[in-house]
Structure 1
Amino acid sequence: MRIKGSGSQFFGSGGGGSRSESFKRGRKRGQKVRGTILKWVSEDMAWVEIDGHRLLAQLHSHPPVGSRLTFLIIQLTPEIILKEIFESSSAGVGALTLAKDFETARILFEGKLQDHIIKLSSPQSPKRIHRFINILAEDIKLFSAYLDVTACLKHINHSLASTKNARLIYIPWLIPNGHRHIGLVRNPKSSPSLIETILELELEDFGMVRIEFLHKTPDTSYRVKLQHPSNATELNYYLESLLAYEPAPQCLGISPLQQHEHGGILSQILFKQ
């Protein structure tokens, strides 16, 4: 399959070839896909890999090999037409581009992860990381999408390094049925021995959920904030069950998510300097 075009438009031969048919399978118009620059063959032609499909593309931009690009599927028949919707992440890009890059990569990964939710949810929490690693090893497309998310976080953390004593993390295996996972770890300069960790995700019954941990050896405490706290009864039962673990973290309560927190961690850390 061959993609060509000018500007930010990308065209692929629809044809009846096995590669083009394989690319179309399971995809639809309006869907976003991510691709990696594999090799430049001329000033404006490069091999791009999208979910295991190698495509020869004529690109308007000239990102380095290894860069991740995001495309929007304009149509699949009779020709495959893709459009680059923003530039790939690189040094000097703005906060908005970094956020969009991460959001897109996360949506694509978590969409693929849905096929494995039942399998991932079955072990107890401490064992889920091992199951998660095994799932990634068995699904190369899922693994590629996960690497894309972590690469986007690496770009964001690099941009934060000079101004904030914090880094973003992504650990979706902790609560597999959640969506839009993200986390933040920071060490307040005023108290270097104190570690603050915030985990954020969305759950069907609670909306946005934020769990804020404070750790100072040997003690750990946490507070849960919910967008919809009226549904917290079952959560209370679950938190009480954690008291059986030793050492049990101290729960400081469940409270409503504040209005200024509804934008999420990513917005707060990138746009509120």
Structure 2
Amino acid sequence: MRVSGGSTGGTPSGGDGRDRSDPQAFKRGRKVGQTVRGRLLAPGPQGLFWVNLAGHKLLAALDHEPSLGRELVFRIERLEPELLLRDITPPPSAVDDPALLLAALADARSRFEAVLHRGPPLFAETGAAGPNAPLAPLAARKRLFDWLASTPEAAGLYGRLRELLRLARAFLPVQAGRPVYLPWAFPGLDASEGLVTRSGRTFTLRLFGRLAEAGRVSGIFSLSMNRASYRLSLERPEAGEGLVAALTSVRLGHRELAPVCVHLGPLAPAESGGLFAPLIAGAARPFTGLRLRV
């Protein structure tokens, strides 16, 4: 979406009569990479559209015409010389249907990881975990976000994925925790899903994904101020000893704790589908106004 400035001959529906687009006012306090939300107000002149973006009424050129009044989600791609935003709005079906949301999440993650694998390595070891592989190291996280800042395609895909995770919260039980995606969690971990909960000073991270040497992996990490423990279930348990030896520390904020493995075993069938699917797929589908009996 490209935002235009100046006065025009069109007035947005529901407007106050002032038909001036002021992108400079919107730019103040904004930065590249930021996510903003808005709504389409009305068609404007010369094929442009009036949008309300974070409280600012702007005249914009859209790549497509969405439904009037529908929420839009954008990522700021460029502020100068002209304001350029990328549309990362999830498809309408993903907002309402848990099964379609799961499919959209999987597709967005696959697209992002295809680009991620072509980028620079996040870890010192480019393949399997090395002799020292802390969980969620700050250095890997910084490398990821530095790369996103310089790679608009990846940043747009990552933004869309995060927006879908935000929508997923509506389908998850509150006690399940906050859904997260942590591509920097562990060397070689793909298709990861995470759920974070907090009780007092204790954080719990449930993590699921795939490792080349271990197959599907499910882990539960409990972190407090002075101790860390974890449970691991692996599709290929024979890889477990190597993972335990490599997992030398777990990060809690800016601190690193030495974790203790309290369980290591095979992946149960109930765990093989990941974290999100059993929870989200169990949510009721929205009523469409039509009931069929066959």
- Shorter-chain TM-score bucket reads 0.5 to 0.7
Distance in 2 separating the partners of 1:272 and 1:195: 25
**Greater relative CO (CA pairs within 8 A, separation 6+):** 2
- Equivalent of 2:186 in 175, 186, 193: 175
What is the match of residue 57 of structure 2?
none
**What pairs up with 1:211-226 in 2 under 5 angstroms?**
211-226=219-234
Deviation, 1:178, is: 2.0
User: Is the CA contact 1:117–1:176 (under 8 Å) kept in the aligned structure 2?
Assistant: no
SS of the equivalent of 1:150 reads helix
Distance in 1 separating the partners of 2:193 and 2:181: 5
**What pairs up with 1:80-229 in 2 under 5 angstroms?**
87-90=92-95, 93-118=96-121, 120-122=122-124, 125-160=137-172, 163-187=174-198, 194-229=202-237
SS of the equivalent of 1:151 reads helix
SS of the equivalent of 1:205 reads coil
Distance in 1 separating the partners of 2:120 and 2:185: 12
Counting helix residues as a fraction of each chain, which structure ranks higher? 1
Distance in 1 separating the partners of 2:113 and 2:138: 21
Q: Percent identity?
A: 23
Deviates more, 1:255-264 or 1:173-182: 173-182
User: Is the CA contact 1:63–1:88 (under 8 Å) kept in the aligned structure 2?
Assistant: no
Deviation, 1:186, is: 2.4
SS of the equivalent of 1:171 reads coil
Identify if the C-alpha distance between structure 1 residues 130 and 216 changes in structure 2 by more than 3 Å, giving closer, same or farther: closer
What is the match of residue 234 of structure 1?
242
TM-score w.r.t. length of structure 2:
0.58
Partner amino acid, structure 2, of 1:107:
S
SS of the equivalent of 1:174 reads coil
Q: Is there any run of 5+ residues in structure 1 with no aligned partner, and where? A: 1-36, 48-53, 69-85
Deviation, 1:112, is: 0.8
Partner amino acid, structure 2, of 1:110:
E
Partner amino acid, structure 2, of 1:111:
A
Distance in 2 separating the partners of 1:46 and 1:104: 31
Q: Is there any run of 5+ residues in structure 2 with no aligned partner, and where? A: 1-37, 50-60, 75-90, 126-132, 284-294
Deviation, 1:136, is: 0.4
Deviation, 1:215, is: 2.9
Corresponding pairs, count: 204
Larger of the two Rg values belongs to structure: 2
Instruction: Tell me, yes or no, if structure 1 residue 267 matches structure 2 residue 273.
Output: no
Runs of 4+ with deviation above 4 angstroms: 37-42, 54-59, 191-194
Distance in 1 separating the partners of 2:92 and 2:48: 15
Deviation, 1:115, is: 1.0
User: Is the CA contact 2:109–2:191 (under 8 Å) kept in the aligned structure 1?
Assistant: yes
Identify if the C-alpha distance between structure 1 residues 208 and 63 changes in structure 2 by more than 3 Å, giving closer, same or farther: farther
Distance in 2 separating the partners of 1:134 and 1:98: 29
Deviations 1:221-245, CA, capped at 9 Å, x for gaps = 1111111112334224323x449x9
